Structures are given as structure tokens and as C-alpha cells.
Amino acid sequence: MATQQGEGGVPFAVAHELQNFRLLELPPEIVELLEAPNPPPFQIRQVQTSNSVFVTQPAFDAHGNDIPTSTTCAIASCTATLELHPADTPAVAYIEAVLPVYDIVGGEVDAIQNDTSKGGVFADVPLSSGQCEQGWAEVVAFELSGSSYRPSVNTLRQVWSSINAAALAEGIRLDSQFLGYDLAEMVQEEGFPAPLALAIFSHLASAGQDTSGQWSCLDRRKTVSFVGKTLLQAKRGSSGHLVADFVEEWKDSLPEAWRGDAALKSIEGTYDTPTSTTIVAKGISASRATEAAVPKAAAVKGKWHERFAKTRK
């Protein structure tokens, strides 16, 4: 390495082979955000600098038989710095963009395999694992046969119908502790993916519920709202649907004891009323709007729906 020292100055050396470094600038306000319980996602920007910025470390320098002297050695020269800027894009947008849609139309599955596990999906998303988990849960994503998917609203409607029918037929109270894996297997007998049923249980779980175990417990208010939003978004057309008919269908899609909870205030902010008697969903993403435009598939009916119908009589 080459050393320069003026009289009374500090010895300074530059390594023959400089290393590659990137400097990350972290102002105090950014550090505070990073230390928050739920830090927001950030974008990294590279900013060129006209100043000479060196990364140094202590070293010893000796020439010939001279006694080694301490010096400062530059091991890297940085021509740019990295800056963090809070990202405006929510985690759910990233997850929706990379996951194929799992749709069921007329009893047939319409989905493109991506041969990517949940971990593989997270590896390609520029967010923390915690933020990816939040986005994954929000879109009710699930893994099936080595691929990862997000369900269409039409599929969510059908799978929820199967869950509700099986729970009613077996006398399972969804807002109390129940064996989620057992109920998911019943749903699978109807031709729906058990992992999707489990993803729905996790999405609707009560606060504090351990979603990694075999037991499940749904939050009643959250579930009522989820069912109402799903039913409305799954309806095709944009001219509006009679409010009375929609609410009645909503009630029929809930456990018997929850029918009285089906009220528009539970889904406030997610619908428009073109007239005083009609209702339409609003705020559907472009991908889900396309899904909702698909003609409503005939419901897949099996033994749970037959037993469910009998209990209604």
C-alpha cells in the first residue's frame, strides 16, 4: 500500500486492491421508524456523490527495516451512498402481483402453477418477513402441491359456503375452539383445498388465537364482515343488486346464531348504493374485478350441503 505523511500529519495509506462497499445513510428519523414495533417498508435509492468518501481501518506500515508505525488505511472508495425512503406500496400489492389466482368455475379449477413455495415467494418480495406474512394473510394465500396461490372472490365464496355447511351439519360453533384440521378435511371432501380452508381460518381468527396449531376459533364480527364483502364482490355486473336480496343471501351464508349480525354497517366503506334500494361493491382491485366479472359458477354441492339444507328446514 502507498503511504503519505506530511510533517506533523496523520499517516494515511491506500490499499492496492480496494474492496466493494456501499454506504447506507440512516438519519435519526429513519432509525426511529426501523425500531418501531411495525416498521413500514422502505425503498433503497442509490445517490451518486462528488465527494471522495473512503472506508478506512487502522493498520501498520513499515518500509525496509524501519519500525512499523500505525497508520490509517483506506480499504474502499465509495462513489455513491444508499438512502432509505418509506415505500408507498403496501405489502398486499406485492403479494397479489406475484401470486397466480386460484379460481373454481363450474367445479373445475382454473389456476396456473408457479412451482414456488411460500418461502420462495417471500424471497422475491422487497419487504421484511413480517410484512410479507401480513400481505400473505390479507389475501388469504395458501400453498398447494408445491405452488402458491391467492383465491378469487368466487372461490372464497364457495369455500366459505362449504365451511359453513359442514360446521352446521356437525354442530361446530365457529366462534368457539374447534379442530381446524378436521373441518378443513370435511371441506376437502367437497373438492376444495384443505390448505385454503385453513388459510381462511387463520385470516378470520380471533385475537390472540394461535393459528399455527390444530385448533381454530373465528372472530364473529370479522367473519360476518368477511362473508358480506366476499358475497358482494363475487356478484357479477355493475348495475346494482337489491339490498334486501343481498342481505337475505348474506344471512343465509352465516351460522344460524349470527344471522342477525348481517347489517350494512358491518361492511361500511366497501360498497356504493346507486339507488336507495340497490348496492354494488367498490374498491375491488383490477385483478379481482376481472374475477368478479366471470359468470357465477354453479355451487358445488355435496353431503355437507345436503345435511346443511336439512338443518335449515
When comparing pLDDT for 295 and 122, which is higher?
Answer: 122
Q: Kindly report the pTM of this predicted structure.
A: 0.71
Same domain flag for 295 and 209:
yes
Same domain flag for 158 and 303:
yes
- Contact yes or no for 216/208 (Cβ under 8 A): no
* Amino acid in the structure at residue 306: E
* Amino acid in the structure at residue 73: C
- Contact yes or no for 219/207 (Cβ under 8 A): yes
Same domain flag for 163 and 25:
no
- pLDDT, tens digit, 9 for 90 and up, residues 63-120: 667 777 788 888 888 888 888 877 778 889 999 999 999 999 988 999 999 999 999 9
Counted domains in the chain:
2
What's 79's DSSP letter? E
- Is there a domain that residue 233 lies in? yes
Tell which of 65, 86, 107 closes a domain. Answer: 86
- Contact yes or no for 98/125 (Cβ under 8 A): yes
Mean of the per-residue pLDDT values for the chain? 84
- Is there a domain that residue 133 lies in? no
- Is there a domain that residue 138 lies in? no
Same domain flag for 81 and 160:
no
Tell me how far apart the alpha carbons of residues 248 and 265 are, in angstroms, rounded to a whole number.
Answer: 15
Q: Which of 15-24, 34-43, 230-239 has the lowest mean pLDDT?
A: 34-43
Tell which of 51, 70, 86 closes a domain. Answer: 86
Domain span including residue 55: 2-86
Tell which of 70, 86, 102 closes a domain. Answer: 86
